[in-house]
């Protein structure tokens, strides 16, 4: 029987600020995301299909064009293909594609997620978005905002010789026709993530250095995306490459090692099905084994689920033919 692979889809901020170096590092924030994506897919790529988009778009006259898919969702390479410093063909192609993206422009998060939703909803199986960003969503020229919702004011910048203080709104349209593009596009971003959730697509949120001012908004996005962490912050806040890689790994393992296993079709006889972790038989049982929850889905329970989420299991096999072994 075939077990459906989940789809792990990276939506990466490639705005101009992502070209800045990470604190205490010579590597840029955008390069750090590439390293994190590479590391997690070397480890768990064989369990998933993966794809990626970057925002804003490469052809970007006004700096605010909606992002676009840069790598169409494809099956992960076999485990042995990503070893000894080599990469399987699909991972290699993804990394090459991401390396050609040059950070520039603004942060059109909401319109990017809206533009991707229809395509993501058509992918077979379950799909999870990993959104990595270093700042506020903006680029919505239809917004008008006060100083409390202006990116320049929130970050206490200076614009055209003016200090962006609570008493001087640097997003006032009277200053420049482009000023409202720096209003924080919070509600539209939450709505875009909510639309993904209603389509069955969860969204994990990674906040890179620079996003600290927008922690409340990123919390809202994580909650709406149905991936909120316990405690605070509810999203994954990272400060360096090590934390970024750890966050992406934790998300990747959680997605790839789902304890809910869906099959392409029901088995001829559910009483003649067995589950294997690599080559080790996993007995059926509700405490620390597995149980059927529908005619084409089973769930791992207790220690069996914990073992899978540890990341040490390379492959889960559901095999039909022999009587089910039970506890």
DSSP 21: B
Task: Answer with the one of 213, 229, 256 that is the final residue of a domain.
Answer: 256
Residue 288 lies in a domain: yes
Q: What confidence tens digit (pLDDT) does each residue in 278-317 have? A: 889 999 999 999 999 999 999 999 999 988 877 667 778 8
Range scoring the smallest mean pLDDT among 135-149, 176-190, 259-273 = 259-273
321 Cβ contact list (under 8 Å, min separation 6) = 272
Residue ending a domain, among 236, 256, 276, is 256
Judgement on whether residues 134 and 246 belong to the same structural domain of the protein: yes
Q: Does 290 lie in the same domain as 227?
A: no
User: Edge to edge, what strands does the sheet with 49-55 contain?
Assistant: 68-75, 49-55, 7-13, 127-133, 201-207, 236-237
125 and 216 assigned to the same domain = yes
Mean pLDDT of 255-274: 89
Residue 52: CATH number of its domain: 3.40.50.410
Per-residue model confidence (pLDDT) at position 86 = 87
Predicted confidence (pLDDT) at residue 94 exceeds the cutoff of 60 = yes
Helix H or strand E encompassing 274: strand 273-277
Mean pLDDT of the chain: 93
Whether residue 301 sits in one domain with residue 194: no
**How many beta carbons lie within 10 A of that of residue 264, not counting itself?**
11
Query: Residue 3's pLDDT is what?
Result: 63
Mean pLDDT across 232-247 = 95
- How many domains in the chain? 2
**Distance, CA of 315 to CA of 79 (rounded, Å):** 9
Residue 173 lies in a domain: no
- Beta strands 273-277 and 316-320 are antiparallel
Q: Which domain holds residue 52?
A: 7-140+185-256
Question: How confident is the model at residue 2, as a pLDDT?
Answer: 54
Look at residue 149 and tell me if it is in a domain. Answer: no
189 domain-assigned: yes
Residue 99 has pLDDT above 60, yes or no: yes
What would the mean pLDDT of 312-324 be, rounded to a whole number? 86
Do 12 and 125 belong together in one domain? yes
More confident: 263 or 92: 92
Q: Could you tell me if residue 92 is inside a domain?
A: yes
Structure tokens at 194: 């909510």
CA distances from 242 to 23, 237, 249 (A): 12, 12, 10
Report CA torsion sign: 33, 38, 39, 41.
positive
Domain membership flag for residue 151: no
């Amino acid at each position: 029987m075939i077990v459906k692979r989940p789809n792990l889809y990276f939506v990466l901020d490639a705005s101009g600020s992502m070209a800045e170096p990470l604190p205490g590092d010579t590597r840029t924030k955008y390069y750090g995301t590439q390293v994190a994506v590479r590391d997690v897919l070397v480890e768990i790529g064989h369990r998933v299909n993966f794809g990626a988009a970057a925002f804003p778009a490469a052809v970007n006259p006004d700096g605010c064009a909606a992002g676009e898919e840069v790598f169409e969702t494809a099956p992960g390479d076999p485990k042995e293909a990503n070893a000894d410093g080599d990469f399987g063909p699909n991972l290699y192609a993804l990394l090459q594609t991401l390396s050609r993206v040059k950070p520039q422009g603004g942060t059109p998060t909401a319109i990017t997620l809206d533009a991707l939703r229809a395509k993501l909803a058509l992918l077979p199986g379950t799909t999870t978005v990993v959104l990595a960003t270093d700042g506020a969503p903006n680029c919505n020229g239809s917004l008008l905002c006060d100083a409390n919702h202006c990116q320049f004011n929130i970050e206490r910048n200076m614009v055209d010789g003016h200090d962006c203080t609570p008493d001087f709104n640097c997003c006032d349209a009277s200053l420049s026709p482009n000023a409202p593009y720096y209003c924080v596009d919070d509600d539209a971003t939450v709505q875009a993530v909510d639309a993904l959730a209603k389509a069955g697509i969860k969204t994990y949120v990674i906040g890179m250095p620079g996003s600290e001012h927008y922690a409340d908004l990123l919390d809202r996005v994580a909650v709406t995306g149905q991936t909120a962490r316990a405690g605070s912050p509810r999203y994954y806040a990272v400060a360096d490459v090590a934390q970024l890689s750890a966050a992406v790994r934790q998300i990747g393992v959680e997605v790839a090692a789902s304890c809910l296993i869906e099959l392409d079709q029901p088995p001829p006889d559910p009483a003649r099905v067995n589950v294997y972790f690599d080559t080790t038989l996993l007995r059926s049982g509700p405490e620390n084994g597995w149980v059927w929850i529908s005619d084409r889905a089973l769930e791992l329970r207790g220690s069996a689920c914990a073992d899978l989420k540890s990341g040490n299991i390379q492959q889960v096999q559901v095999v039909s033919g022999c009587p089910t072994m039970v506890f």
